[in-house]
Structure 1
């Protein structure tokens, strides 16, 4: 609670305004962007009794996310998201978060990420080969579907079929819309009335997601005991996937019998996953749900917005095609092109695609804002931010700031020279967050996005269907509100050389 004599930074009002609440609810990105332009680097406003501070300075953001991170907790949006994500890696705090990150982190080391590259290309190729010349697709739905299959296979070693993927995506889509509604005070009140259709459907959507995940947990437990799997992996050199590692951690907390010593010996040989917190089935569920959602939604949004932008700039699109042809084209005869699939070894060669992807995530960052709750009184410049206040740091706002980007609303991949990147303040570009709570899968997302575009654009030109109302839908991630329809045009009567 702010003291009566607290000096507030500039802002729209030091008192609660229903009009401001409506603006933040209906168009938060525009509202926060206007605050940045009008009031500067530190902005104060009130929502209800809560004091909100918008931080628009990369140095301040760096201190909050890295050097002073222990003074903050996750923001209110992620607190609400616990209804869906539970106490998984994204929403948990303190030792629970640290222990879970230790278990999951090895799945995102460079060697492991490299091993996922072939999965990305394979899934992208299957999707691409299913498309037809002249057909119209919702590119957002296509990308949501294929990236879900990629994350399932990569970190779970699980092949999710198209029917189950569609079921998962549909339940997730409704859950996202509903949890956005929960951010409104009225939404929280209505949530208590399960007789209401929207409330009832939200409960059913979570049950669908849970049924898929709990079935995976049950089947994996039945297939082989965790201790036996540890022993098998020691002998074969095979690395565990996410579910195996979580089950191994669960076994470490349950193993208090005469087998405990034997288990500890095996754990020490592969890197102990022992954690002081019991790893229940609920916690395993929370982590799987979190990784499946976070691991495919951010990337699918990033690729969707990238194709949306590229489709409106023929010169940029043509340069992308030329780079792909230079690297992947094997032969051409009478207009018939034969391509090979890209590999992770090609990634350094796709310099222009990397710039396109980087610039698209500047304009449409997958995660558009980060919130924190102030644990203890915090000082920024001459202002004291009271305990219990909320802090907002917006990737979208910072990445459209004219202090760091000339013509910030212009899609210009060529701005990303090595010199430009060297002189850019660290937190003027942070599409995946940053600090100890930064996205654990950021490197995987970069690899996936570039390989996906190289694979798909070897054969397809994606044309934006005219007369669409393309709108941003800023929930926890930045979705296109109504999807984006694209018409597929085959670049040539090409064949792929696998």
Structure 2
């Protein structure tokens, strides 16, 4: 019997070491070039792996929304389990559903609004320490302040500056190391703990673990007599750690939502028998929320200030909006700024457009990967079981079919009419579907309030002669940071 002929989408004719090198060194450029050359569905091989690059919003919507059960997380996030464990971002199936049920009440609209004051307080503490004319690495500043915000917001925990720097330093090395693990030779070298880079990676994870486990131990001491019983009144100040510790002592059916009602199994898959959550699972969820909850936002705000520094007219228009909403002119002619609040967000329309456009050009998460569980039809092509699918926010966000002059920073493109006619997954900086970012609304609020707070008082000017480069790991970092000169707006 003749063997069936498989109809592959267009793409490089065969695996080449050159393509592997290009993907390792410049993944965004390589994926962008493949789409330009071959179209919306591209097929290529890496070793024995079959890769399908999808750059059509309708196909992406079906994969992430309608047919999501046929896919599991891609290989990059499988590797990230070394750091994140089986937390909300990396877990699958029932475990993911149950974890999302525990975390979800922390990101309901009313709860998110309550975090607004924390964002402004931490932003104010940060920029009040700045000195006019000094030079800062805006990425480091944003990484530290957003870590403090997420700690206080969802865990009611004040992380001090020294601890934040220690955490951020260990995280930074871990990210670089896990990027190295994406390369086949990296997995081989990872077995040799005598190598300095391998040894340091182990120490970095130990550092992160020590901070998280100490936090869990301290909270257990405080909460040992306050763990909620199934029928007890709900603690109105409940945070992430409280909910995770509660899950150690109650079954899935006894967990409570943000209104204090018992969550029933019809909202999630609870077919498996409930069991207590282990310390390891608590650790995995805490470290996942700490990392995912601050890194993406810090990257987004960092890139926003870089773009503003290159666009003086847009920056000036932003200052004018801030001045019209947050400033008061004193008798001597000087301006005094009040702190922004959550109620100001609907008025800060231009800052919202700036932040939206920044995340189009530099999406915090630049790609999503999925592994195919069963043969899957896309257009006229069957993607075989075991294949990998890549969907890149960066590539899609720069598609000139949906964005006029896509490389241009143009917040004014985001009119209500433009948004209405834009296909859903031609813009998806936070992913989408049941596996989309649970903290999306929090990130929008945090970004707008942070920009309004900082830019009320400071203009950030790019230090010349820097080689600004993207560093696409799990998130889209600026390689080597971005140095900026602080110029006080009160002068």
Tell whether the 8 Å contact from 2:249 to 2:276 is kept in structure 1 after alignment: no
Distance in 2 separating the partners of 1:4 and 1:196: 48
What secondary structure, in the 3-state scheme, does the structure 2 residue paired with 1:193 have? Answer: coil
The 1:237/1:188 distance shift into structure 2, 3 A limit, reads closer
Match of 1:44 in 2: 43
1:373 aligns with one of 356, 371, 374: 371
What RMSD, in angstroms, separates the aligned Cα atoms of the two structures?
Answer: 2.0
Q: Structure 1 residues 264-273 or 439-448, which shifts more?
A: 264-273
Match of 1:55 in 2: 54
What secondary structure, in the 3-state scheme, does the structure 2 residue paired with 1:82 have? Answer: helix
Deviation of 1:332 (Å): 3.5
Instruction: Map 1:407-418; keep pairs closer than 5 Å.
Output: 407-418=405-416
Instruction: Map 1:13-28; keep pairs closer than 5 Å.
Output: 13=13, 15-28=14-27
Distance in 2 separating the partners of 1:55 and 1:266: 39
What secondary structure, in the 3-state scheme, does the structure 2 residue paired with 1:87 have? Answer: coil
Match of 2:236 in 1: 238
Tell whether the 8 Å contact from 2:155 to 2:241 is kept in structure 1 after alignment: yes
Deviation of 1:273 (Å): 8.8
TM-score, normalising length: structure 2: 0.95
Instruction: Map 1:246-265; keep pairs closer than 5 Å.
Output: 246-252=244-250
What secondary structure, in the 3-state scheme, does the structure 2 residue paired with 1:402 have? Answer: coil
Instruction: Map 1:290-301; keep pairs closer than 5 Å.
Output: 290-301=288-299
Deviations 1:386-433 (CA, angstroms, capped at 9, x unpaired): 000000000000000000000000000000000000000000000010
Match of 2:346 in 1: 348
Match of 1:278 in 2: 276
Deviation of 1:221 (Å): 1.0
Deviation of 1:229 (Å): 3.8
TM-score, normalising length: structure 1: 0.94
Distance in 1 separating the partners of 2:326 and 2:41: 48
Instruction: Map 1:49-448; keep pairs closer than 5 Å.
Output: 49-225=48-224, 228-230=226-228, 238-252=236-250, 270-272=261-263, 276-334=274-332, 336-448=334-446
Distance in 2 separating the partners of 1:335 and 1:450: 28
Q: Structure 1 residues 272-281 or 123-132, which shifts more?
A: 272-281
Match of 1:12 in 2: 12
Tell whether the 8 Å contact from 2:366 to 2:472 is kept in structure 1 after alignment: yes
Match of 2:459 in 1: 461
Tell whether the 8 Å contact from 1:328 to 1:341 is kept in structure 2 after alignment: yes
Deviations 1:353-398 (CA, angstroms, capped at 9, x unpaired): 0000000000000000000000000001110000000000000000
Tell whether the 8 Å contact from 1:252 to 1:273 is kept in structure 2 after alignment: no
Tell whether the 8 Å contact from 1:233 to 1:239 is kept in structure 2 after alignment: no
Tell whether the 8 Å contact from 1:96 to 1:277 is kept in structure 2 after alignment: no
Deviations 1:138-163 (CA, angstroms, capped at 9, x unpaired): 00000000000000000000000000
Q: Structure 1 residues 277-286 or 457-466, which shifts more?
A: 277-286
Deviation of 1:266 (Å): 9.2
Distance in 2 separating the partners of 1:285 and 1:271: 24
What secondary structure, in the 3-state scheme, does the structure 2 residue paired with 1:479 have? Answer: strand
Deviations 1:24-83 (CA, angstroms, capped at 9, x unpaired): 000000000011111111000000000000001000000000000000000000000000
What secondary structure, in the 3-state scheme, does the structure 2 residue paired with 1:230 have? Answer: coil
Distance in 2 separating the partners of 1:427 and 1:40: 17
What secondary structure, in the 3-state scheme, does the structure 1 residue paired with 2:204 have? Answer: helix
Q: Write out the 4+ residue segments of structure 1 that deviate beyond 4 Å after TM superposition.
A: 231-237, 263-270, 272-275
The 1:278/1:466 distance shift into structure 2, 3 A limit, reads same
Distance in 2 separating the partners of 1:447 and 1:469: 30
Equivalent pairs counted in the alignment come to: 481
Deviations 1:208-259 (CA, angstroms, capped at 9, x unpaired): 0000010111111111226x342699658513100000000011259xxxxx
* Structure 1 runs not aligned, ≥5 long: 255-262, 494-498
